[in-house]
C-alpha cells in the first residue's frame, strides 16, 4: 500500500462533518487538496483532507442551498481547511511544507463556522446498502 492509500484507510470519516465513509452513499469520501492541484501538483497526505461530497462542494464554493433556508450554505475557506488539517489530522500537520507549496506565508487557521458542526449533529445519516437490503428482507 502507498502512503496515500494507508492515509485513506486510516481516515474513513469526513474531516469536517465526521460522516463515516459508509454513510456517504455512492459518492464516498473525496481527497481535497488544501493547496489546489492546479496551483501545485502535490498528492502527499499532508496536503489532503478527506471530505464527504457536500463538504467538498463547500470547499470549492459550490455548496447547494439547504432545503430549509433561502441563504446558501457557507463555504469552507482556505483558512478553514488549514484548521481542519491541524485539528482533525494532527500527525500530518506540516505548515512549513504547505507554505513551500503555497509560495507565501499561510493565513492563520480559522475554525469553520458552526454551520458545519450543527449539520453533523442534526443530519440524519444516509442508510448503508446493508441497512437497505436488511429492510427489504423484513418487508418481504
Domain range for 85 is 3-139
Distance CA 131, CA 128 (A): 5
Note down pLDDT in tens along the chain; length 140 residues. Answer: 677 777 777 778 888 888 787 776 667 788 899 988 777 778 888 899 988 888 888 888 886 655 666 666 677 889 989 988 998 888 888 999 999 988 889 999 988 877 666 555 444 444 455 555 554 444 44
- The model's pTM is 0.70
Count structural domains, the chain. 1
Q: What are phi and psi of 33, to 5 degrees?
A: -85, 120
Amino acid at each position: 500500500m502507498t502512503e496515500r492509500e494507508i492515509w485513506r484507510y486510516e481516515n474513513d470519516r469526513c474531516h469536517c462533518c465526521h460522516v463515516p465513509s459508509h454513510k456517504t452513499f455512492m459518492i464516498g469520501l473525496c481527497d481535497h487538496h488544501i493547496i489546489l492541484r492546479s496551483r501545485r501538483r502535490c498528492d502527499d497526505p499532508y496536503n489532503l483532507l478527506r471530505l464527504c461530497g457536500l463538504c467538498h462542494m463547500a470547499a470549492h464554493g459550490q455548496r447547494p442551498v439547504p432545503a430549509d433556508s433561502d441563504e446558501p450554505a457557507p463555504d469552507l475557506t482556505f483558512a478553514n481547511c488549514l484548521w481542519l488539517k491541524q485539528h482533525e489530522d494532527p500527525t500530518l500537520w506540516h505548515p512549513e511544507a504547505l507554505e513551500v507549496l503555497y509560495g507565501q506565508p499561510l493565513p492563520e487557521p480559522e475554525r469553520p463556522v458552526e454551520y458545519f458542526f450543527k449539520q453533523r449533529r442534526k443530519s440524519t445519516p444516509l442508510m448503508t446498502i446493508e441497512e437497505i437490503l436488511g429492510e427489504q428482507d423484513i418487508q418481504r
